Structure 1
Amino acid sequence: MTTTAYTTMKVGRWNLADLVEDPSSDQFGSFLRSIEEQLAQFERSRQILRQDISPVEFEGLLHLLESISEKISIASGYAHLRYYADTSSNEASALVIRMEKMASDIGNRTLFFDLWFKRQLDDENANRLINAVPQVYREYLRHKRLVAKYSLSEPEEKIINTLEVTGIGALVKIYDKMTSGFEFTVKLRRGRKIVEKKFDNKEKLVSLVRSPDANTREAAYKSLLEVYRKNSGVLGEIYQNVAVQWRDEAISMRGYKSPISVRNIANNLDDVTVEALLASCRKNSAVFQEYFREKAKMLGMKKLRRYDLYAPITTKASDTKKFTYGKAVQSVLDTFGDFDPQFRTLAERVFSERHVDSEIRKAKRGGAFCYTVTPKMTPYVLLNFDGLTRDVSTLAHEFGHAIHSMLASDLPIMVSHAPLPLAETASVFAEMLLNEKLAEKMSARERRLLLAEHIDDMYATIMRQAYFTLFEIEAHRVIAESNATIDAVAKIYFENLNEQFGSSIAITPDFQWEWVYIPHFYHTPFYTYAYSFGNLLVLSLYRQYKLEGKSSFVPKYFKILAAGGSRKPEELLMEAGIDISREEFWQQGFDYVREMIQQLKSLAP
């Protein structure tokens, strides 16, 4: 595609035909039957699961399991992507349920192999097999042995897998369906009149919290929080059930040390590493408090309100830079190409294969994500593009994820995904490259606006996410131990906000209901610290890149990305000279943020 073609590109929908052309066709039915045939073949392998199984037999089972996983990922990936494109579609929802049941059945019927390797195979023979298989599988298999002590019996694991679909999984789907269908009314004062604007897409509403107009920001937040407050009874009860089920299974049944330990071990990280990260974030809350005080001065305010958190450093609507979709795409591709030609080539592939859904429309899932169906296929990217600078950054961010995935495409499906702490390594780096590129063509005033927006994003992806995790730790504790009410959880969240902002921001009581608006709390408990981890890590990597230059840095950086989930994070990063076991490492990231704040102050008129 030519440069002109990119600059004139319009928002649109993705094409899912690379996955499934027609789910009602005989071809799709035949595809699903092939999964059943391989599954039956895999089940017959029970008879060779002995202590003295040969490495050849063992590796053969790994490859067969990979093939089954690839196929169900394609079928399930199609179902979910189709549903995300239109959450109101009953047909799409039914297909998701059908594929989730099939995936659960596959999990149950292949579970014997996982439990055999983790619980029945002795250490000597486990090490013999691990050392005999190709290197790419070894860390994955070692990690399986690490979590072995948290596994249950085969019948118990089957019950948990089965109930997940109709239990917590179903409740979370209700949360998604409810929230994607919310309608919002924003009340704006225009002279003596109150003008009402209705929104049926949350992303369009949320874009208003970055409006240059303070009344618009306040009205948008009030509308958002009021809708969630009104629905907090149901949404809060769903969260209570998530927290109780998480603790019952993790601690009472499996024996994890704490609810967050489940996520840490899944991320192949030690508890002490995550504790050091969160402690460092807590100690550095004053860094962003300093920024918010400075931002209030730039806005001509005595103190920021929570409504003003993401206010641009301007009072003129004309100063808010807008991008066409084509211009945004071209800016991102040019940025990637300047860093490394391969970065651009991989990103272009996503566009050329029409794997992007970028338009805003009713019933489409909000936010943005990159979805890798299998490592052999080009990832899919969902956006809700509205033309703001942050939407361009989001585009760069999600395409960073896509590039990360494609660089690891040679890996088996079971080890291709980077663990959560490393999952943002390419996405946030891509954003930083973009911001630097955009700043080159800007005036001092525009650079100040961009830098403020960048620091806003750093707050949102570092401090905000760390405090989300700190909230989850406390919320899970009081719900499980004290049967805390929804109102009590809201109070904990409000105290969390007061701690992270100190006296730098005025917070109104309506924000105590913000937590029911955060989908990560429902979908993936304790997920969000990975954003803090990833962003602070990227700040260190970016500084290294600027010091070393491309020729030295790029090969090491690509090696990190291409490793996917095949290496333990601590070991992989140590090879690049990064020791995440030291608290000083995390402090370097906050020192960089402080430097950015000082730069912002120097640009103020």
Structure 2
Amino acid sequence: MPLTKLPEWDLKDFYPSYKSKEFNSEITNLDQNINIFVKKYKGKISKSNPSFIKKSIAEFEQIEEIFVKIKSYIFLFHCTDQLNEEKTSFYQKTQEILIKLESKMLFYNLEINKISQTVVKSLSNSKFFPWIKIQRKFKKYQKSESIEKVLMQKSITSNNAWVRLFDETMARLTFKVGNKKLNESEVLNLMSSNKPSVRKHAAISFGTTLKKNIHLFSLITNTLSKDLNTENTLRGFETCDSSRHLSNQVDSEDVTCLVQTVKENYSSLSHRYYKYKAKTFGKSKLDYWDRNAPYPDQHSKDISWSEAKKIVLESYSSFDKRISEIVKLFFKNSWIHAPVMKGKTSGAFAHPTTPSCHPYILLNYQNKVRDVMTLSHELGHGVHQYLANQNGLLLADTPLTLAETASVFGEMLTFKFILKKAKSEIERKTVLRSKIEDMLNTVIRQISFYEFERLVHNKRTLGELTVDDINEIWLETQNESLGNSIRISGEFKYFWAYIPHFIHSPFYVYAYAFGDCLVNSLYAKYEDGEESFNEKYFNLLKSGGTKHYSDLLDNFGLNPKDQKFWQSGLNIIKNLIDELENLG
């Protein structure tokens, strides 16, 4: 099926263009408002009365709204065309301007955290109280204003510069398969081709190209790890991932409980499934490029954009029409960018932007069932962000512990919808296999990534790592998670180099497993007919950052500190494998 015209987002809801008077005026006005704010509040917050503090927070939120609006616009404008020098120059120039302006505002969070506990308690009835409580958790790790300014201003030439180098390098790489030169999204897509030779050649080409650039990727990894360790040491974080847990607003013991439970299930989940898949392929072991391969008896079906849209809308509508009405907005109003393009960032995401605007979704849609699931996933994020935005900017941001809830729940709704429509045993097998593989990639693979990161960052504290050092850690963690039925060989040892989360957001990956297991437990409650489930779920999405995740989960009788909570989520995957094996 030829790719039809796919939607591209319209960013005019931000500004008419990046050269417009409106955009330039926004930055000029922002600078003026910051100067007024500094003059009005600097040095006065920590000893002020509650009404003065509440007024200052409201004005702070207005300024932050403009910051985030500009940042969102330049990011979305640039990410679909990263090889365009004019756009890249505009993006970098604007970032540098914003860093300079943000440094003027650094005093505010520091002064908020100097407010006495008595005054904090008197603010308990304020809508901003949850935000104040979150800020207080950062207090012990904050430094003086002068040090914070240096860290912020240096970020543009330290951490941010290395991230930019990674992004631009990946965007420029081409991978030769046959007579074609492909970008990252295109070559990764070929690894799920129904032709074994195509999968093999795509994997080898991908690994070979990574190998040619591996010393650069090793340098980026080593430098960013050292940079993270330097800042963690300066701030007093105890472990390499402590700062991530704090920003995620998650208790470290909950993450430890999750990781331990998942690793204990490697054998009964991923090892078991890949043994089943290898046997179905008539092999004792699958080559690594066949891990996500279509089955021999599987007929590859292309799904057009209009069909994908219909499936996703019906899936959400069958659960709650309020949510499907929000989903329709994304299709109707050009809030989605779907085509594969040269220079466009790979993968998919939903960007919340600001309450004064709306979320946007990026995909690289290539007519596969997995693309439909990705569309459903990102629309779940979009719905979550859309509903949470009603709390205002400071309280709209959902902690990562719950950030994957609506996305994974949306995937589950779509999976169940497609499974119900399956007309034959082979169709049912195909749907089950696809879902199991997606869940293993979301849970097992992401926890193995998290373990890889922890080992790399901990070992990096002892000195710079060689390429062989990083390769060895990668192979160790992947072999452990995949089991004996996957043959890891050749250039696969370099595949760590392309994972963007390692560069953009160290230790983010466990949030995927957290979200999947959480949603599996939630979905079990839904299927069991939990009283008022839809209202509780809707309120969870609307809450944004106003409530702690443990309180929200308690409404459903769920406790993330209990290993049984995580095991119940993993049992959903086990039950799907049981069902698949029972079909023969």
In structure 1, what residue type is equivalent to 2:450?
T
Decide which moves more: 241-250 or 69-78: 69-78
Q: For 1:285-324, what aligned pairs fall within 5 Å after superposition?
A: 285-286=266-267, 287-315=269-297, 319-324=299-304
Contact 1:240 1:479 survives alignment (8 Å) = yes
Q: Are residues 312 and 115 of structure 1, via their aligned partners in 2, closer, same or farther at CA, if it must alter by over 3 Å?
A: same
Aligned residues: 580
Q: CA deviation at 1:9?
A: 8.1
Change (3 A) 1:230 1:335: same
CA separation in 1, counterparts of 2:411 and 2:509?
18
TM-score (norm 2): 0.96
SS of 1:313's equivalent?
coil
**Where does 1:421-460 land on structure 2 (aligned, <5 Å)?**
421-442=401-422, 443-460=424-441
From the superposition, tell whether residues 465 and 404 of structure 1 become closer, same or farther in structure 2 (CA, over 3 Å). same
Whether the 8 Å contact between 1:52 and 1:125 is mirrored in structure 2 is no
1:34 is the counterpart of 2:24: no
Aligned with residue 227 of structure 1, among 195, 206, 209: 209
1:183-582 counterparts in 2 under 5 A?
A: 183-186=174-177, 196-250=178-232, 252-286=233-267, 287-315=269-297, 319-442=299-422, 443-548=424-529, 552-582=532-562
**Native 8 Å contact 2:47 2:115 kept in 1:** no
Cα pair 1:213 1:315 within 8 Å, conserved: no
Q: Within 5 Å, give how 1:12-91 maps onto structure 2.
A: 12-46=7-41, 49-91=44-86
Residue 169 (str. 1) matches residue 163 (str. 2): no
Tell me by how many angstroms 1:413 deviates. 0.6
The match for 2:576 among 596, 602, 605 is 596
The amino acid of 1:87's aligned partner reads Q
Instruction: Give the Å deviation of 1:72.
Output: 2.0
Shift of 1:432: 0.8
Question: Bigger CA drift: 156-165 or 410-419?
Answer: 410-419
In the TM superposition, residue 312 of structure 1 has moved relative to its aligned partner by 1.8
Query: Take 1:341 and 1:489, find their aligned partners in 2: how far apart are those partners?
Result: 48
User: Paired residue for 1:152?
Assistant: 143
Deviation at 1:102, TM superposition (A): 2.8
Inter-partner Cα distance in structure 2 for 1:497 and 1:452: 21
What residue number does 1:93 align with? 88
C-alpha distance after superposition, 1:363-398 (max 9, x if no partner)? 111111111110232211111111000001111011
**Mean CA deviation greater in 371-380 or 580-589:** 371-380
1:441: how far off? 1.9
- For residue 122 of structure 1, the aligned residue among 116, 119, 126 is 116
Shift, 1:229, TM fit: 1.3
2:66 aligned partner, one-letter code? K
CA 1:47–1:359: 2 relative to 1, 3 Å: closer
Task: Measure, in 2, the Cα distance between the counterparts of 1:248 and 1:328.
Answer: 46
Residue segments in structure 1 that go unaligned for 5+ positions in a row: 1-7, 187-195
For residues 422-458 of structure 1, the C-alpha deviation after alignment (integer angstroms, 9 at most, x for no partner) is 1110111111111111122222211101110111111
- Cα deviations by residue, 1:307-345 (Å, 9 ceiling, x for unpaired): 2110122356xx011111111111111111111111111
Instruction: Report the Cα distance in structure 1 between the residues aligned to 2:574 and 2:564, rounded to whole angstroms.
Output: 15
Letter of the 1:552 counterpart: S
The whole-number CA distance in structure 2 between the counterparts of 1:346 and 1:23 is: 28
CA displacement at 1:50 relative to structure 2: 4.7
Alpha-carbon deviations, 1:173-207, whole Å to 9, x = none? 01100101111012xxxxxxxxx142332112111
Do the aligned partners of 1:183 and 1:198 also contact (CA within 8 Å) in 2?
A: no
For 1:211 and 1:288, how far apart are their aligned partners in 2? 21
**1:69 deviation in Å?**
1.4
Alignment partner, residue 133 of structure 2: 142
Rounded to whole Å, the distance in 2 between the matches of 1:200 and 1:259 is 36
Between the aligned partners of 1:434 and 1:197, the Cα distance in structure 2 is: 37
Shift of 1:233: 0.4
- AA aligned to 2:70 is A
For 1:482-534, what per-residue CA distance to the aligned partner results, in whole angstroms no more than 9, with x for missing partners?
A: 32222211111111111112322211142211111101000000000000100
Whether the 8 Å contact between 1:76 and 1:96 is mirrored in structure 2 is no
Once the 2 structures are TM-superposed, how far is the Cα of residue 230 of structure 1 from its aligned partner?
1.0
Return 292-301 or 40-49, whichever deviates more.
Answer: 40-49
Q: Distance in 2 between matches of 1:272 and 1:440?
A: 38
Cα root mean square deviation, aligned:
1.6
Deviations 1:48-80 (A, max 9, x none): 625441222111111111111111222221111
SS in 2 for 1:185: strand
Q: Is the 8 A contact 1:20 1:75 kept in 2?
A: no
Q: Is the 8 Å Cα contact of residues 41 and 56 (structure 2) preserved in structure 1?
A: no
Is the Cα contact below 8 Å between 1:356 and 1:380 reproduced in 2?
yes
1:474 deviation in Å? 0.5
What SS does the corresponding residue of 2:176 show, helix, strand or coil?
Answer: strand
Q: Is the 8 A contact 2:261 2:566 kept in 1?
A: yes
SS in 2 for 1:522: helix
% identical aligned pairs: 30
Aligned counterpart, 1:3 = none
TM-score by length of structure 1 reads 0.93
Residue-by-residue CA offset, 1:145-200 (whole Å, 9 max, x unaligned): 112000011000000000111211011101100101111012xxxxxxxxx14233
**Runs of 5+ unmatched residues, structure 2:** none
Match of residue 105, structure 1, among 100, 103, 106: 100
Letter of the structure 2 residue corresponding to residue 122 of structure 1: S
Give the match for residue 5 of structure 1.
Answer: none
